Amino acid sequence: MYKLSSYTGNIFLHGQICAESLIIKKLLVDLRAFFIVKYEIGIRIGEDYMKIIEVKNLSKDYKYKVKKEGKGFIYNLFHEEEKVVKAVNNISFDVEEGETIAFIGPNGAGKSTTIKMLTGILYPTKGDITICGYTPIKDRNKLAYEIGTVFGQRSQLLPNLPLTESMEMFGTMYDMDKEDIKKRIEELTKLFDLKEFIKQPVRKLSLGQRMRAEIATSLIHRPKIIFLDEPTIGLDVVSKKNLRDLLLKINKEEKVTIFLTSHDTEDIQSICERCVIINHGRIIIDTSTKKLLSDYVKNKNIIITPNTEFIEFPDLPEGMTYTKKSKSQIIVLVDTEVIHTQKALQELIKRFDIDDINIDNESLESIIRSIYEKN
């Protein structure tokens, strides 16, 4: 950036000397445009500019003591055996600036441990992490200015005071001056629609309001990345939807990179462009959410409704199974690797007097479930 501006600066200086010459002016404009395009391409293709998170061969072991069965208390007091659990096992991935990434896996897969290593809470056993150019454990203080965190199960707010008090406290923590804190609170109030409850003590807020407040507070210092661990846990469907919309909004409007863990597939589908699936401490899939949905959908649900009512349920060809049999509706699961959807439809039309047909793709939830089960 520095080189580019100093170079164009010199050209403009030269341009002032020969100001009368339109040709030179045009040349300068062209040259400037050329350099700007080249610079932008450099950002797009130059990996160093883009990566906001870099993880290489990251591992984390937990040690715990095991008592020997059949041995007494005194024996076990001095002869406890140490066992090692590999919570995270040699994982590597990168995240680009502005990405929305879901880091998912079943309970005990290593998601929280990974997030905690990324944010500098836990020391890795092995491997390297770079976030915004910092090593989390070494540069924890500097990194804190670049990241925001929301853990759905924990609150960082002062429970008896209005939200503004917590925001002011956090603003001071991040070295913001009074004016800036005030301005930022106004911005966040607008963005998160906090006006209706910003003066209420946090303790009196509903869970949905509190989560909005938590996320807004974690953004007070304008972080580049926000780590969210189960942000929608315990929320009702409306609050969940609102929160997802807000996260998308901050990603678009404030260019905040979102790193999310959630067991709610709706969170993943509606917020995240990319899914990293982890199980037994290893990354098993790292792909875009769209690709996950298209590549891993092997089953389709065909829902049929009768003209009058279904009485008989004849056997179906291989690759087709009933998942619902009732007088008013039949749902058939089709394994598209065994039988093509078109053929399956023909088979059903042959067997039933049908009024209406709907075909649904397998849900993300069942795709993820089958991935967990296979791995």
The binding site for other proteins (CB under 8 A) comprises 62, 112, 116, 119-123, 140-142, 144-145, 147, 149, 151, 153-161, 165-166, 168-170, 172-175, 201
Q: Is the CB of 170 or the CB of 310 nearer to other proteins?
A: 170
d(CA 130, CA 128): 7
Output the smallest distance, CB 151 to other proteins, in A.
7
Measure Cα distances from 297 to 291, 292, 337 in Å. 10, 8, 10
DSSP code, position 134: B
Q: Is the CB of 163 or the CB of 371 nearer to other proteins?
A: 163
Output the smallest distance, CB 158 to other proteins, in A.
4
Q: Is the CB of 39 or the CB of 174 nearer to other proteins?
A: 174
Residues 6+ apart with CB under 8 A from 105: 111, 277, 278, 279, 372
Closest CA to 225 of 34, 54, 339: 54
Q: Is the CB of 6 or the CB of 153 nearer to other proteins?
A: 153
Q: Is the CB of 141 or the CB of 328 nearer to other proteins?
A: 141
CA-based R_g, the chain, Å: 28
Question: What token pair was written down for 246?
Answer: 């807000």
Output the smallest distance, CB 104 to other proteins, in A.
16
Output the smallest distance, CB 178 to other proteins, in A.
11
Output the smallest distance, CB 159 to other proteins, in A.
5
Closest CA to 149 of 124, 127, 131, 123: 131
Q: Distance between terminal CA atoms of the chain?
A: 46
Q: Tally the C-alpha atoms within 13 A of residue 206's C-alpha that lie toward its C-beta.
A: 12
Output the smallest distance, CB 138 to other proteins, in A.
13
Q: Is the CB of 89 or the CB of 114 nearer to other proteins?
A: 114
Q: Is the CB of 112 or the CB of 265 nearer to other proteins?
A: 112
d(CA 262, CA 116): 15
d(CA 299, CA 303): 13
| Strand-strand pairing, 274-279 and 100-104 | parallel
Q: Is the CB of 224 or the CB of 343 nearer to other proteins?
A: 224
Output the smallest distance, CB 278 to other proteins, in A.
16
Output the smallest distance, CB 160 to other proteins, in A.
4
**Orientation of helix 178-192 relative to helix 237-253, angle to 10°:** 130
E runs forming strands in 169-326 = 225-229, 257-261, 274-279, 282-288, 299-306, 320-325
Q: Is the CB of 215 or the CB of 302 nearer to other proteins?
A: 215
d(CA 178, CA 168): 8
Measure Cα distances from 122 to 94, 113, 148, 206 in Å. 19, 8, 17, 31
Output the smallest distance, CB 202 to other proteins, in A.
9
